[in-house]
Amino acid sequence: MNPVNYLYLAALLFTIGGAGVMIRRNAIIVFMCVELMLNACNLAFVTFARLHDNLDGQIFAFFTMVVAAAEVVVGLAIIVTFFRSRHSASVDDASLMKL
């Protein structure tokens, strides 16, 4: 199978994630969409690594996974404290500072 198809899939997943960040209102879902974008990047990295026949992309994918894990730790902590003080994880409720 032509590896370029995986690039199309990666672009599609990235777009779905990006659209989700814009459209969805629940902070957790928004965050999941960001993770989807990161995984789309991983797919693009390993596909390019296959196309170029070198390992840089695969190594990059590992680093992305570790960074994504660290981001989950920090992100969930922030979203959970936010939820506990407001009983809502909706990003529309975060409007204390509107001008």
Partner 1 sequence: MTTATAVSIHSLWTTLADSTPGAATTSTAFQTPKVEYAQLSPILIVFGAAILGVLAEAFLPRRSRYTAQLAISVIGLAAAFAAVVALAADGYASTKSHIAAMGAVAVDGPALFLQGTILLVALVAAFTFAERRLDPAAHGNRVDSFAAQGSAVPGSEQEKAAVKAGFTTTEIFPLLLFAVGGMLVFPAANDLLTLFVSLEVFSLPLYLLCALSRRHRLMSQESAVKYFLLGAFSSAILLFGVALLYGYAGTVSYGGIADVVGGTAKLTPALANSTATDALLLIGGAMVVIGLLFKVAAVPFHMWTPDVYQGAPTPVTGFMAAATKVAAFGALLRLLYVVLPGLRWDWRPVMWAVAILTMVIGAIIAVTQTDVKRLLAYSSIAHAGFILAGVVAVSPDGVSSVLFYLGAYSFVTLGAFAVVTLVRDAGGEATHLSRWAGLGRRSPLVAAVFAVYLLAFAGIPLTSGFAGKFAVFKAAAEGGALPLVIIGVISSAIAAFFYIRVIVLMFFSEPQPGAPSVAIPSLLTSSAIAVGVAVTLVLGVAPQYFLDLAGKASVFVR
Q: Give the binding site for partner 1 (CB under 8 A).
A: 7, 10, 14, 17-18, 21, 27, 30-31, 34, 37-38, 40-41, 44-45, 47-48, 51-54, 56-57, 59-60, 63-64, 67, 70-71, 74-75, 77-79, 81-82, 84-86, 91, 94, 96-97, 99
* CA–CA distances in Å: residue 58 to residues 4, 14, 40, 45: 16, 18, 13, 6
CB of 53 to partner 1, least distance (A): 7
Rounded CA-CA distance 30/25 in Å is 7
